[in-house]
Amino acid sequence: MHLFASTRAVVLGTVVVLCQPIVTLPAHADGGCVTRPLTTAESARVKANFGAIAAALPKAPKGWEADEDEGANSARDGVCKSGHDPYRYSFIRRFNRADNVQARQQKVVEASAGLHTASAQATMDSFDKRQQALAAQMEKAAAKQDLAAVQRLGAQMEKLEAERAKAMNAGGALDRTDAAAAEAGKDSAITIGVDVNRDEYSFGGKATSVKIDGADAAYLFNVTGEAAIFLGAWGPVQDHFLKARVDDAKAQPQWPVQNIVVYFQADKSRLPALMKQVDVPKLRALMAR
């Protein structure tokens, strides 16, 4: 788990636990596709493509650690019997910075020191008792089906929670902890993904075109710390979308790779170098098979 992937810290005793975001890829809707299992030869072809994709992507930078690649498990278990649905699959590689984890964690712990004083703990204990008492009253009111009492006590609980949050942030202690967590999370994680035969690609921020040798298009999405390389027939950028021109006629027997997207999520300063490290010709070769 990556320690600095969230700007919001949850403080437990003297340990600061930071939560990792979940990154998901858009699911493809099969539109009523009736599937059949992959044959041995088809499975071998998909496995070979995953191997080529893995070899084409950058390795972990010095001082970074690589998670286990996510690949074959993302492939569908079957293909459409009709043959009019290009086979789609994804590959993900993640890196986590490991050369300064302790130093980053220490800064967050130091920033949160104001949350762990005896006075702060006494204040939190007082709020705990008051909230527990209110919760007990709410439970009794609910058992009696006294809706008015439940609503009244619920409003009191919300007010008490707001007072607790304000007390925790006395002197800006919580704000400093959040700011330290946000700073610690900078340039600490990299995600590189590859989608094959994707219908469209959406993004946030402004798309700035960049030149990547061998690619049909490539963009930096500067506001969001994202970038992408496109191979195949893709339309122009329109309202934060690029749409692929997928030819269903070429879907027989579903295996041709019609387009490839390589996308990146990283600190903006790393994106140009990461994009140039991709072996675009190796990926392009998949489209010729």
Close Cβ partners of 66 (under 8 Å, ≥ 6 residues apart): 59, 60, 93, 94, 95
Rounded to the nearest 10 degrees, what angle do helices 101-111 and 173-184 cross at?
A: 170
6 phi/psi in degrees, rounded to 5: -130, 150
Whether the CB-CB separation of 183 and 107 falls below 8 Å is answered with yes
CA–CA distance, 21 with 1 (Å, rounded to integer):
10
Place of tokens 């950058």: 58
Q: Are 64 and 98 in contact (CB under 8 A)?
A: yes
Q: What is the pLDDT of residue 214?
A: 95
- Angle 27-32-254 from CA coordinates, rounded to 5°: 70
- Of 184, 183, 180, residue with least CA distance to 172: 180
What is the spatial distance between Cα 109 and Cα 137, in angstroms, rounded to a whole number? 37
According to the model, what pLDDT value does residue 8 have? Answer: 36
For residues 254 and 186, is the Cβ–Cβ distance under 8 A? no
CA 89 to chain centre: 17
Q: Is 46 helix (H, G, I), strand (E, B) or coil?
A: helix
For the range 115-124, what are the long-range contacts, defined as Cβ-Cβ under 8 Å and sequence gap of 24 or more? 115/11, 115/168, 115/173, 115/174, 115/177, 116/11, 116/13, 116/14, 120/168, 120/170, 120/173, 123/167, 124/164, 124/167, 124/168
The residues with which 200 forms a beta bridge, in sequence order, are 243
**What pLDDT does 24 receive?**
32
Separation CA 236–CA 9 (nearest Å): 40
pTM of the model: 0.66
> Could you give the C-alpha distances from 166 to 65, 133, 162, 225, 249, in angstroms and in order?
39, 20, 6, 32, 62
What was the pLDDT predicted at 170? 75
Q: What is the pLDDT along the chain (289 residues), one digit of tens a residue?
A: 444 443 333 333 333 333 333 333 333 444 567 778 888 888 888 889 999 999 999 999 999 999 999 875 556 667 777 666 778 889 999 999 888 777 777 776 666 766 677 887 888 889 999 999 999 999 999 999 999 999 999 999 999 999 988 887 777 767 777 776 666 667 889 999 999 998 899 887 788 999 999 999 999 987 668 999 999 999 888 878 788 877 665 555 567 889 999 999 999 999 999 999 999 999 999 997 7
Determine the Cα–Cα distance for residues 2 and 78; give it in Å rounded to an integer.
34
Q: Are 251 and 278 in contact (CB under 8 A)?
A: no
Query: Residues near 190 by Cβ (< 8 Å), separated by ≥ 6?
Result: 61, 64, 94, 95, 264, 265, 266, 270, 274
Helices within the chain (DSSP H only): 40-56, 101-111, 118-143, 147-168, 173-184, 271-276, 280-286
